[in-house]
A and B are shown apart, each in its own frame.
Chain A
Amino acid sequence: MLEWIKQPWPWYVAGPLIGLTVPLLLILGNRTFGISSSLRHICAACIPANIPFFKYDWKKESWNLFFVAGVLVGGFIAFNYLSNNAPMEVNPKLAQEMAGYGITNYEGLIPKELFNWPALLTLKGFILMILGGFLVGFGTRYAGGCTSGHSIMGLSNLQWPSLVATCCFMAGGFIMANLILPIILKL
Protein backbone atom coordinates (compact mmCIF):
# COMPACT_ATOMS: atom_id res chain seq x y z
CA MET A 1 0.00 0.00 0.00
CA LEU A 2 2.68 2.48 1.05
CA GLU A 3 4.74 1.48 -1.99
CA TRP A 4 1.78 2.37 -4.22
CA ILE A 5 1.27 5.70 -2.47
CA LYS A 6 4.92 6.55 -2.95
CA GLN A 7 4.62 6.38 -6.73
CA PRO A 8 3.28 9.39 -8.64
CA TRP A 9 -0.54 9.18 -8.69
CA PRO A 10 -2.32 8.84 -12.02
CA TRP A 11 -4.72 11.59 -13.08
CA TYR A 12 -7.83 9.49 -12.45
CA VAL A 13 -6.88 9.19 -8.78
CA ALA A 14 -5.56 12.70 -8.16
CA GLY A 15 -8.16 14.62 -10.20
CA PRO A 16 -11.25 13.28 -8.39
CA LEU A 17 -9.51 13.86 -5.02
CA ILE A 18 -8.85 17.48 -5.99
CA GLY A 19 -12.51 17.74 -7.04
CA LEU A 20 -13.58 16.53 -3.60
CA THR A 21 -11.92 19.59 -2.07
CA VAL A 22 -14.90 21.59 -3.39
CA PRO A 23 -17.60 19.83 -1.31
CA LEU A 24 -15.17 19.37 1.60
CA LEU A 25 -14.74 23.15 2.04
CA LEU A 26 -18.43 23.85 1.44
CA ILE A 27 -19.50 21.32 4.06
CA LEU A 28 -16.80 22.28 6.55
CA GLY A 29 -18.01 25.87 6.67
CA ASN A 30 -19.54 27.33 3.51
CA ARG A 31 -16.16 28.18 1.98
CA THR A 32 -15.76 28.43 -1.77
CA PHE A 33 -12.51 26.84 -2.89
CA GLY A 34 -9.97 29.38 -4.12
CA ILE A 35 -6.35 29.93 -3.28
CA SER A 36 -5.24 33.15 -4.96
CA SER A 37 -7.32 35.27 -2.58
CA SER A 38 -4.86 34.25 0.16
CA LEU A 39 -2.39 36.60 -1.54
CA ARG A 40 -4.91 39.43 -1.26
CA HIS A 41 -5.49 38.68 2.42
CA ILE A 42 -1.73 38.81 3.02
CA CYS A 43 -1.66 42.26 1.37
CA ALA A 44 -4.65 43.38 3.45
CA ALA A 45 -3.02 42.12 6.64
CA CYS A 46 0.51 43.39 6.04
CA ILE A 47 0.56 46.31 3.59
CA PRO A 48 -2.97 47.70 3.05
CA ALA A 49 -1.51 51.21 2.43
CA ASN A 50 -4.97 52.77 2.49
CA ILE A 51 -5.84 51.14 -0.83
CA PRO A 52 -9.63 50.48 -0.97
CA PHE A 53 -9.06 47.01 -2.48
CA PHE A 54 -7.26 45.97 0.72
CA LYS A 55 -9.53 47.70 3.24
CA TYR A 56 -11.68 44.86 4.47
CA ASP A 57 -11.72 42.65 7.52
CA TRP A 58 -9.22 40.03 6.37
CA LYS A 59 -9.56 38.23 9.68
CA LYS A 60 -13.01 37.09 8.57
CA GLU A 61 -11.33 35.41 5.60
CA SER A 62 -8.49 33.93 7.59
CA TRP A 63 -9.67 30.36 6.92
CA ASN A 64 -7.92 30.82 3.58
CA LEU A 65 -4.59 31.51 5.28
CA PHE A 66 -5.05 28.45 7.50
CA PHE A 67 -5.72 26.45 4.33
CA VAL A 68 -2.60 27.57 2.45
CA ALA A 69 -0.47 26.93 5.54
CA GLY A 70 -1.81 23.39 5.34
CA VAL A 71 -0.91 23.17 1.63
CA LEU A 72 2.68 24.04 2.54
CA VAL A 73 2.76 21.37 5.27
CA GLY A 74 1.13 18.87 2.89
CA GLY A 75 3.88 19.56 0.34
CA PHE A 76 6.48 18.84 3.02
CA ILE A 77 4.83 15.58 4.12
CA ALA A 78 4.25 14.29 0.59
CA PHE A 79 7.76 15.08 -0.60
CA ASN A 80 9.62 13.77 2.44
CA TYR A 81 7.53 10.80 3.57
CA LEU A 82 5.29 9.76 0.68
CA SER A 83 7.65 9.85 -2.32
CA ASN A 84 10.04 7.30 -3.79
CA ASN A 85 12.30 10.07 -5.12
CA ALA A 86 12.50 8.51 -8.57
CA PRO A 87 13.37 11.00 -11.34
CA MET A 88 10.38 12.37 -13.25
CA GLU A 89 9.38 10.70 -16.49
CA VAL A 90 8.55 13.23 -19.16
CA ASN A 91 7.60 13.12 -22.81
CA PRO A 92 10.77 12.42 -24.87
CA LYS A 93 10.00 15.44 -27.06
CA LEU A 94 10.08 17.70 -24.01
CA ALA A 95 13.28 16.07 -22.73
CA GLN A 96 14.89 16.65 -26.12
CA GLU A 97 13.84 20.31 -26.20
CA MET A 98 15.02 20.84 -22.60
CA ALA A 99 18.37 19.17 -23.33
CA GLY A 100 18.83 21.84 -26.00
CA TYR A 101 18.72 24.45 -23.20
CA GLY A 102 21.06 22.38 -21.02
CA ILE A 103 18.28 21.16 -18.69
CA THR A 104 18.84 17.48 -17.94
CA ASN A 105 18.13 17.11 -14.20
CA TYR A 106 14.74 15.49 -13.55
CA GLU A 107 15.32 14.65 -9.89
CA GLY A 108 13.07 17.18 -8.21
CA LEU A 109 9.64 18.45 -9.19
CA ILE A 110 11.23 21.79 -9.99
CA PRO A 111 14.24 21.95 -12.33
CA LYS A 112 17.18 22.76 -10.08
CA GLU A 113 19.11 24.15 -13.04
CA LEU A 114 16.56 26.96 -13.46
CA PHE A 115 15.15 27.57 -9.98
CA ASN A 116 17.89 28.20 -7.41
CA TRP A 117 19.11 31.14 -5.32
CA PRO A 118 22.16 32.14 -7.42
CA ALA A 119 19.98 32.10 -10.57
CA LEU A 120 17.89 34.95 -9.12
CA LEU A 121 20.71 37.29 -10.10
CA THR A 122 20.65 36.22 -13.75
CA LEU A 123 18.28 37.65 -16.34
CA LYS A 124 16.77 34.21 -17.04
CA GLY A 125 16.21 33.50 -13.34
CA PHE A 126 14.75 36.97 -12.79
CA ILE A 127 12.23 36.46 -15.59
CA LEU A 128 11.27 32.92 -14.54
CA MET A 129 10.96 33.48 -10.79
CA ILE A 130 10.38 37.17 -10.12
CA LEU A 131 8.54 38.34 -13.25
CA GLY A 132 6.72 34.99 -13.42
CA GLY A 133 5.60 35.27 -9.80
CA PHE A 134 4.49 38.86 -10.31
CA LEU A 135 2.33 37.83 -13.30
CA VAL A 136 0.79 35.00 -11.26
CA GLY A 137 -0.20 37.41 -8.47
CA PHE A 138 -1.29 40.29 -10.72
CA GLY A 139 -3.07 38.12 -13.29
CA THR A 140 -5.03 35.96 -10.86
CA ARG A 141 -6.34 38.94 -8.94
CA TYR A 142 -7.19 40.83 -12.16
CA ALA A 143 -9.03 37.70 -13.35
CA GLY A 144 -10.72 37.32 -9.96
CA GLY A 145 -9.37 33.83 -9.33
CA CYS A 146 -6.87 31.18 -10.30
CA THR A 147 -6.91 27.55 -11.34
CA SER A 148 -8.66 26.57 -8.11
CA GLY A 149 -11.15 29.45 -7.86
CA HIS A 150 -12.12 29.61 -11.54
CA SER A 151 -11.08 26.36 -13.21
CA ILE A 152 -12.14 23.99 -10.42
CA MET A 153 -14.66 25.84 -8.23
CA GLY A 154 -16.15 28.14 -10.87
CA LEU A 155 -16.53 25.45 -13.52
CA SER A 156 -17.96 23.04 -10.92
CA ASN A 157 -20.66 25.66 -10.26
CA LEU A 158 -21.18 26.09 -14.03
CA GLN A 159 -20.13 29.73 -14.09
CA TRP A 160 -19.47 30.92 -17.63
CA PRO A 161 -17.13 33.78 -16.58
CA SER A 162 -14.93 31.06 -15.07
CA LEU A 163 -14.90 29.26 -18.42
CA VAL A 164 -13.75 32.48 -20.10
CA ALA A 165 -11.02 32.85 -17.46
CA THR A 166 -9.92 29.22 -17.80
CA CYS A 167 -9.66 29.51 -21.59
CA CYS A 168 -7.55 32.65 -21.17
CA PHE A 169 -5.27 30.93 -18.60
CA MET A 170 -4.68 28.18 -21.15
CA ALA A 171 -4.24 30.59 -24.06
CA GLY A 172 -1.69 32.62 -22.08
CA GLY A 173 0.17 29.45 -21.12
CA PHE A 174 0.23 28.16 -24.71
CA ILE A 175 1.60 31.47 -26.00
CA MET A 176 4.26 31.70 -23.28
CA ALA A 177 5.38 28.05 -23.35
CA ASN A 178 5.56 27.70 -27.13
CA LEU A 179 6.47 31.15 -28.40
CA ILE A 180 8.21 33.17 -25.67
CA LEU A 181 9.71 30.70 -23.20
CA PRO A 182 12.06 29.14 -25.81
CA ILE A 183 13.66 32.56 -26.23
CA ILE A 184 13.95 33.07 -22.45
CA LEU A 185 15.49 29.63 -21.90
CA LYS A 186 18.19 30.41 -24.44
CA LEU A 187 19.32 33.47 -22.45
Chain B
Amino acid sequence: MQNVVNTDFEIRSENAMCVNQSKLDQSFSSLLKYTIAGIFFGIILVKAQVIAWFRIQEMFRLQSFHMFGVIGSAVAIGALSVFLIKKFKIKTIEGESIRLEDKQFSKGQIYGGLLFGFGWALTGACPGPLFAQIGTGATVVLVTLLSAIAGTWTYGFLKSKLPH
Protein backbone atom coordinates (compact mmCIF):
# COMPACT_ATOMS: atom_id res chain seq x y z
CA MET B 1 0.00 0.00 0.00
CA GLN B 2 1.45 3.38 -0.95
CA ASN B 3 2.01 6.03 1.64
CA VAL B 4 0.11 9.16 0.70
CA VAL B 5 0.80 12.42 2.44
CA ASN B 6 -2.32 14.01 3.72
CA THR B 7 -2.46 17.36 1.95
CA ASP B 8 -6.20 17.49 1.73
CA PHE B 9 -7.49 18.88 4.97
CA GLU B 10 -9.77 21.26 3.17
CA ILE B 11 -11.64 18.55 1.37
CA ARG B 12 -11.66 16.44 4.48
CA SER B 13 -13.20 19.16 6.54
CA GLU B 14 -15.98 19.85 4.05
CA ASN B 15 -16.76 16.19 4.04
CA ALA B 16 -19.02 15.53 6.94
CA MET B 17 -17.72 12.09 7.77
CA CYS B 18 -14.00 12.53 7.96
CA VAL B 19 -13.34 14.63 11.02
CA ASN B 20 -12.64 13.88 14.64
CA GLN B 21 -9.71 11.61 14.37
CA SER B 22 -8.20 10.48 17.58
CA LYS B 23 -4.45 10.13 17.75
CA LEU B 24 -4.46 7.70 20.62
CA ASP B 25 -6.17 4.59 19.36
CA GLN B 26 -4.56 3.41 16.15
CA SER B 27 -3.29 -0.03 17.10
CA PHE B 28 -5.03 -3.11 15.75
CA SER B 29 -6.20 -4.27 19.16
CA SER B 30 -7.50 -0.80 19.94
CA LEU B 31 -9.40 -0.65 16.64
CA LEU B 32 -11.07 -3.97 17.37
CA LYS B 33 -13.41 -2.21 19.78
CA TYR B 34 -15.03 -0.61 16.75
CA THR B 35 -15.64 -4.06 15.32
CA ILE B 36 -17.45 -4.97 18.54
CA ALA B 37 -19.50 -1.76 18.21
CA GLY B 38 -20.20 -2.68 14.58
CA ILE B 39 -21.41 -6.17 15.57
CA PHE B 40 -23.80 -4.56 18.06
CA PHE B 41 -25.03 -2.18 15.35
CA GLY B 42 -25.36 -4.93 12.71
CA ILE B 43 -27.46 -7.09 15.03
CA ILE B 44 -29.84 -4.18 15.68
CA LEU B 45 -30.14 -3.42 11.95
CA VAL B 46 -31.24 -7.00 11.26
CA LYS B 47 -33.51 -7.35 14.29
CA ALA B 48 -35.24 -4.03 13.51
CA GLN B 49 -35.67 -5.20 9.89
CA VAL B 50 -34.12 -1.90 8.81
CA ILE B 51 -32.24 -3.88 6.18
CA ALA B 52 -35.46 -5.38 4.77
CA TRP B 53 -36.37 -4.20 1.27
CA PHE B 54 -40.10 -4.50 2.07
CA ARG B 55 -39.81 -2.26 5.15
CA ILE B 56 -38.14 0.42 3.05
CA GLN B 57 -40.93 0.15 0.47
CA GLU B 58 -43.52 0.52 3.26
CA MET B 59 -41.72 3.61 4.55
CA PHE B 60 -41.67 5.36 1.18
CA ARG B 61 -45.34 4.48 0.60
CA LEU B 62 -46.34 5.71 4.10
CA GLN B 63 -47.77 2.25 4.79
CA SER B 64 -46.01 1.66 8.09
CA PHE B 65 -44.83 3.78 10.98
CA HIS B 66 -42.00 1.35 11.81
CA MET B 67 -39.08 3.01 9.96
CA PHE B 68 -40.15 6.51 10.98
CA GLY B 69 -40.34 5.29 14.59
CA VAL B 70 -36.87 3.74 14.36
CA ILE B 71 -35.22 6.82 12.84
CA GLY B 72 -37.17 9.27 15.02
CA SER B 73 -36.40 7.55 18.31
CA ALA B 74 -32.77 7.03 17.27
CA VAL B 75 -32.43 10.77 16.66
CA ALA B 76 -34.15 11.58 19.96
CA ILE B 77 -31.75 9.37 21.94
CA GLY B 78 -28.77 10.52 19.86
CA ALA B 79 -29.63 14.18 20.42
CA LEU B 80 -30.12 13.66 24.15
CA SER B 81 -26.74 11.90 24.31
CA VAL B 82 -24.95 14.67 22.42
CA PHE B 83 -26.61 17.26 24.65
CA LEU B 84 -25.46 15.43 27.80
CA ILE B 85 -21.93 14.92 26.42
CA LYS B 86 -21.63 18.66 25.72
CA LYS B 87 -23.26 19.76 28.96
CA PHE B 88 -21.15 17.58 31.24
CA LYS B 89 -18.05 17.77 29.00
CA ILE B 90 -17.82 13.99 28.99
CA LYS B 91 -14.46 12.68 27.76
CA THR B 92 -13.55 9.59 25.75
CA ILE B 93 -12.32 6.45 27.51
CA GLU B 94 -8.79 7.62 26.62
CA GLY B 95 -9.44 10.93 28.38
CA GLU B 96 -9.68 13.12 25.27
CA SER B 97 -12.24 15.91 25.00
CA ILE B 98 -15.08 15.07 22.63
CA ARG B 99 -15.27 17.45 19.68
CA LEU B 100 -18.15 17.70 17.24
CA GLU B 101 -17.70 19.74 14.09
CA ASP B 102 -20.44 21.61 12.30
CA LYS B 103 -21.52 20.48 8.85
CA GLN B 104 -21.27 22.92 5.98
CA PHE B 105 -24.18 23.36 3.64
CA SER B 106 -23.61 22.57 -0.02
CA LYS B 107 -25.96 21.95 -2.94
CA GLY B 108 -24.61 18.41 -2.83
CA GLN B 109 -26.92 17.71 0.07
CA ILE B 110 -29.82 18.38 -2.28
CA TYR B 111 -28.63 16.75 -5.53
CA GLY B 112 -26.73 13.96 -3.82
CA GLY B 113 -29.50 13.48 -1.30
CA LEU B 114 -32.10 12.96 -4.04
CA LEU B 115 -29.82 10.54 -5.93
CA PHE B 116 -29.18 8.55 -2.76
CA GLY B 117 -32.94 8.49 -2.10
CA PHE B 118 -33.46 6.91 -5.54
CA GLY B 119 -30.81 4.30 -4.75
CA TRP B 120 -32.22 3.63 -1.29
CA ALA B 121 -35.69 2.85 -2.72
CA LEU B 122 -34.20 0.63 -5.46
CA THR B 123 -31.83 -1.45 -3.34
CA GLY B 124 -33.76 -1.17 -0.06
CA ALA B 125 -30.46 -0.42 1.60
CA CYS B 126 -28.34 2.47 2.71
CA PRO B 127 -24.61 1.81 3.15
CA GLY B 128 -24.82 0.20 6.62
CA PRO B 129 -27.52 -2.30 5.65
CA LEU B 130 -25.51 -3.30 2.55
CA PHE B 131 -22.86 -4.78 4.85
CA ALA B 132 -25.47 -6.36 7.14
CA GLN B 133 -27.36 -7.87 4.17
CA ILE B 134 -24.17 -9.55 2.98
CA GLY B 135 -23.74 -10.90 6.50
CA THR B 136 -27.18 -12.51 6.35
CA GLY B 137 -25.97 -14.55 3.42
CA ALA B 138 -27.36 -12.50 0.53
CA THR B 139 -24.10 -12.83 -1.40
CA VAL B 140 -25.41 -11.04 -4.48
CA VAL B 141 -25.45 -7.82 -2.44
CA LEU B 142 -21.65 -7.91 -2.77
CA VAL B 143 -22.26 -6.75 -6.33
CA THR B 144 -24.43 -3.88 -5.06
CA LEU B 145 -21.68 -2.94 -2.60
CA LEU B 146 -19.02 -2.99 -5.33
CA SER B 147 -21.29 -0.81 -7.43
CA ALA B 148 -21.68 1.60 -4.50
CA ILE B 149 -17.87 1.77 -4.23
CA ALA B 150 -17.76 2.49 -7.96
CA GLY B 151 -20.34 5.25 -7.43
CA THR B 152 -18.24 6.80 -4.67
CA TRP B 153 -15.16 6.62 -6.90
CA THR B 154 -17.05 8.25 -9.77
CA TYR B 155 -18.11 11.07 -7.47
CA GLY B 156 -14.47 11.62 -6.48
CA PHE B 157 -13.47 11.62 -10.14
CA LEU B 158 -16.16 14.15 -11.17
CA LYS B 159 -16.19 16.23 -7.99
CA SER B 160 -14.62 19.39 -9.44
CA LYS B 161 -17.16 19.43 -12.30
CA LEU B 162 -20.27 19.00 -10.15
CA PRO B 163 -22.26 21.88 -8.64
CA HIS B 164 -21.68 22.23 -4.90
Contact = CB atoms under 8 A, between A and B. Distances in A.
Q: Do A and B bind each other?
A: yes
Interface of A: 5, 8-40, 42-45, 47-49, 51-57, 59-64, 66-80, 82-83, 88, 90-91, 93-94, 98, 106, 108-111, 114-117, 119-120, 127-162, 164-178, 180-181, 184
16 contacts: A14-B48, A19-B81, A22-B81, A26-B92, A35-B126, A56-B6, A72-B132, A75-B135, A109-B52, A137-B127, A137-B150, A157-B82, A157-B100, A161-B105, A172-B120, A176-B118
Given A135-B116, A173-B120, A37 B15 contact: yes
Contacts of A147: 71, 120, 126-128
B109 A71 contact: no
Given A63-B31, A71-B41, A165-B109, A19 B156 contact: no
B52 A94 contact: no
A173 B117 contact: yes
A132 B54 contact: no
Contacts of A25: 34, 37
Contacts of B43: 74-75, 77-78, 82
A165 B4 CA distance: 31
A144 B4 contact: no
Given A20-B77, A173-B121, A175-B117, A75 B127 contact: no
A172 B69 CA distance: 20
A24 B19 CA distance: 17
Contacts of B18: 37, 40, 56, 61
Contacts of B44: 9, 14, 17-18, 74
Contact of A27 (B14, B26, B56, B92): B92
B147 to A, nearest CB: 3
Interface in B1-39: 1-2, 4-8, 11-12, 14-22, 24-26, 30-39
B122 to A, nearest CB: 3
B112 A19 contact: no
B103 interface: yes
Given A29-B22, A73-B135, A144-B15, A135 B74 contact: no
Interface residues of B, number: 139
A146 B14 contact: no
Interface in B52-106: 52-61, 63-82, 84-85, 90, 92-94, 96, 98-106
Nearest to A63: B34
Interface of B: 1-2, 4-8, 11-12, 14-22, 24-26, 30-61, 63-82, 84-85, 90, 92-94, 96, 98-106, 108-128, 130-141, 143-157, 159, 162
A143 B108 contact: yes
A145 B17 contact: yes
A7 B153 CA distance: 39
A10 B150 CA distance: 35
A156 B78 contact: yes
A83 B61 CA distance: 26
Contact of B46 (A15, A66, A109): A109
A181 B4 contact: no
